[in-house]
Amino acid sequence: MNFITENARWLLATALLYFSSCFGQTFFISLFAGEIRQAFDLSHGDWGAIYSGGTLISAIAMLIFGGYVDKYKITLNIKVVIICLSLLCLSMTFIETVWLLPFIIFGLRFFGQGMLIHIPAVAIGKWYGKNKGKALSLSIMGFSIGEAIFPVVFVSLFAIIGWRNSWVIGMIILLILLPVILKLLSNERVPNSKQENISSQLGMQKKHWTRKEALNHWVFWAVIVPFLIPPIFSTAFFFNMVHLTEIKNWSLISFTALFPFYTSMSILTTLSSGWILDKFGVEKILPFYLLPMSLGLLIFSYGDTYVHAMIGLAFLGMTQGLAMTIGGTFWPTYYGTKNLGSVRSLSTSTMVFGTSLGPALVGMLLDFGHNYNFILLGMCILAIFASVSLAITMTRAPKLLSENIKKGAKYVKCLSFRRDTQ
């Protein structure tokens, strides 16, 4: 509780950033999928291609602009990103021609899913040492709250003000949150060497890694592919949830009403994993975090009742909650914090790239007549293989880190001795 009270303003600010990212996330945009396809006369494959194309370009943009978090103040990054995202929400109200849609999707994905996830994750990695898992788990609750309330709220708004005007509500929310976030961050947090574990700010081999060094090391490539599983599969799943409800004979409003089961489990696993990660290390949890998703996909593949949907969403929420804290903890732990924005932008860009693949591939498979239940089963099997791959990786990678921790501990003791003698 002391940790929360002492860090309340920064935790709330980062939570609001995660909350704001919802307007560029797949679970939110997919709520409008049926209306968008009807308005522009798009097939599943057409809409999937547009969405994937915009998302793919946003992944490339993340490689270019992700490092700006290291160069410029966090408040400047936040101003630019939230203002741009709010204007893009407004543009969804007026768009009439289909050729503009890919550009708007690109902006929503880049500023929402990309930068508004990247900025708070980098900030927390820089601000906190041994407590970064705890800080992440609390901050990510902002995203989980958005997942819980937005589907039901905005699907209900469709019937009242229409799908286009619903985007205006998104713009208003963002513009209200912006000054609140800036006020909370008027004093940016500075890590306290007496309270933070100095050694934890360094990565493998007792150094801060550059982007080039990370790309040339086997650990990066061993984890990045399995890290793609949650964004690819969850994006594909939620992107096609309108189609899912159609083949299962579920109503969209009834299905979205089950989202609290998803978000509740996501929140529970997020909170618990933050403390567990700080205590036991990310390598203990990493090999298992994809298994709940595999079970959830298996349930959706074979189940056709709302009970199945409820249980399946709960399992998907577990992996979602684990994924965000694990990713936020892994990169500063293994690669240090000095160049965290640049290094982590590789992960964020790859994640965004992964989300571009899911809708396009699934959309094409559906257009070719493939059964969606069979597609979900294939996702389940691939998630299991990725878990096995991570288990093998985590038998070797922590050895590099453990050597670094020992050296770092000596370094901390040396610093403490010098302070005492001065």
The model's pLDDT over 251-299, given as tens digits with 9 standing for 90+, comes to: 888 888 888 888 788 888 887 877 777 777 778 888 888 999 999 999 9
Q: Is the pLDDT assigned to residue 419 strictly greater than 60?
A: no
**Long-range pairs for 82-85: beta carbons < 8 A, 24 or more residues apart:** 82/20, 82/111, 82/116, 82/174, 82/175, 82/177, 82/178, 82/181, 83/178, 84/111, 85/20, 85/23, 85/24, 85/111, 85/112, 85/116, 85/174
Q: Rounded to whole angstroms, how far apart are CA atoms 319 and 269?
A: 8
Average of pLDDT values for 200-226? 78
Compute CA distances 357 → 85, 221, 256, 353, whole Å.
Answer: 23, 18, 24, 7
Give Cα 154 distance to the centre of its chain: 21
Cα 152–Cα 155–Cα 160 angle in degrees, nearest 5? 120
Q: How far is CA 175 from CA 21, 140, 152, 154, 364, in A?
A: 13, 20, 22, 18, 37
Q: Which of 129-133, 207-211, 248-252 has the highest mean pLDDT?
A: 248-252
> Sorting pLDDT into bands at 50, 70 and 90, what band is 97?
confident
* pLDDT reported for residue 197: 47
C-alpha dihedral (260, 263, 268, 272), degrees to nearest 10: 180
Q: How far apart are CA 172 and CA 249, in angstroms?
A: 35
Show the tokens assigned to 353. 């790239």
Contact 244, 369 (CB under 8 A): no
The domain segmentation of the chain, as residue ranges, is: 2-421
Q: Which residue has the higher pLDDT, 339 or 60?
A: 60
What is the share, in percent, of the chain residues with pLDDT greater than 90? 22
Supply the pLDDT for residue 167. Answer: 93
pLDDT for 295: 94
Supply the pLDDT for residue 380.
92
| 217 conformational bin, left if phi > 0, alpha if psi -120 to 50, beta if neither | beta
Which region among 112-116, 290-294, 308-312, 354-358 has the lowest average model confidence (pLDDT)? 354-358
pTM: 0.69
In whole angstroms, what is the distance from residue 2 CA to residue 243 CA?
46
125-159 confidence digits (pLDDT tens) = 778 767 777 788 888 888 888 887 888 888 888 88
Secondary element (H or E) of residue 278: helix 259-280
What pLDDT sits at residue 190?
64
Greater model confidence, 329 or 168: 168
Distances, alpha carbon 365 to alpha carbons 44, 45, 236, 358, in Å: 9, 8, 12, 11
Average pLDDT over residues 183-196: 67
- Kindly state the tokens that stand for 67: 């490092």
Query: Considering only the top CATH level, what class is 2-421?
Result: mainly alpha
Top pLDDT among 56 and 275 is at 56
Phi-psi region of 95 (alpha: psi -120 to 50; beta: other; left: phi over 0): beta
Is a pLDDT exceeding 80 seen at residue 397? Answer: no
